[in-house]
Amino acid sequence: MDISTIVGLVMGTALLLWAVMSKSDIGAFSDAGSVAIVLGGAVSAAMISFPLRNILGVAKVVKNCFFAKSNDPNELITDLVGFAEIARRDGILALENVAADIKDPFLVSGVQMAVDGTDPDLIEAIMVSDLEAVEARHSEGKALFDNIGKYAPAFGMIGTLIGLVIMLQNMSDPSSIGPAMAVALLTTLYGALLANLIAQPMADKLGLRSREELMLKMIIIKGVMSIQSGDNPRIVEQKLKTFLPNRARAALDLSAEAA
């Protein structure tokens, strides 16, 4: 579970509620019609922009914001170096026994193709094609929330304009102008909240998840290709460490020394 996503949503909501309730009544900031315009409008725009399958799969996309597990690239690199040592010592066919214990299907596929003696260029082409397909799927999920974040403020403004038109039609009662103006402005508030507290932050988190997963897959591709070409395990490690920031490289070195 991603604690930062939950804490961010709870903290943002709590601070907004505190700001409202310290100066006013929460009831003054609730209006069902405004919610319908903003939420319904943003969802409608998303349905126009994307196929129905993307809309129906939104629950799975949201789940990735809260429950996606981040794998450790250091651990992955350590495993790949271990595979390189086995291949160097016992031959690449020895990895067939290791493949049964690997949990990552992408890594299993790469190792199996290397064991089967598949042409290196073909291995790389297949794995890169798989990576590109994953990237495209991730982009669709992120784009859905980017879309909602883009249109929610616009529908908030549309709701405000509708409220102003209604208010101007009832100028005969001066006492109703203030409350009517307040209700009209709520849609702008709701649109801004939906975009900046929910949709855009979730799109950014999905983008981060995608970059993390794609980096891991790139490490696997480079690792499998190095193992298949018979590189020395130390060379394999040096190649794969280039994907890591300096701090992570230092942690990997310390872990290797401890082992």
Q: Cα(161)–Cα(163) distance, rounded to whole angstroms? A: 5
Residue 59, pLDDT > 90, answer no
The verdict on residue 18 lying in a domain is no
Determine the structural domain holding residue 169 and report its residue range.
34-259
The verdict on residue 125 lying in a domain is yes
The verdict on residue 23 lying in a domain is no
Average pLDDT over the chain reads: 87
The verdict on residue 29 lying in a domain is no
Residue 178, pLDDT > 80, answer no
Predicted structure pTM score? 0.84
Please compute the mean of the pLDDT values over residues 220-231 and round it to a whole number.
93
| Number of domains present in the structure of the chain | 1
The verdict on residue 227 lying in a domain is yes
pLDDT band at 252 (very low <50, low <70, confident <90, very high): low
For residue 4, the one-letter residue type is S
Residue 218, pLDDT > 60, answer yes
Please compute the mean of the pLDDT values over residues 65-93 and round it to a whole number.
87
In eight-state DSSP terms, residue 94 is G
Which residues have a Cβ under 8 Å from the Cβ of 160 and sit 6 or more positions away? 184, 185, 187, 188
pLDDT band at 63 (very low <50, low <70, confident <90, very high): confident
Residue 192, pLDDT > 90, answer yes
The verdict on residue 207 lying in a domain is yes
| pLDDT tens track for 82-107 | 999 999 998 888 898 888 888 889 99
Sign of the Cα pseudo-torsion (82, 84, 86, 89, in order): negative
Phi/psi at 25 (5° precision): -95, 135
pLDDT > 70 fraction of the chain, expressed in percent and rounded: 94
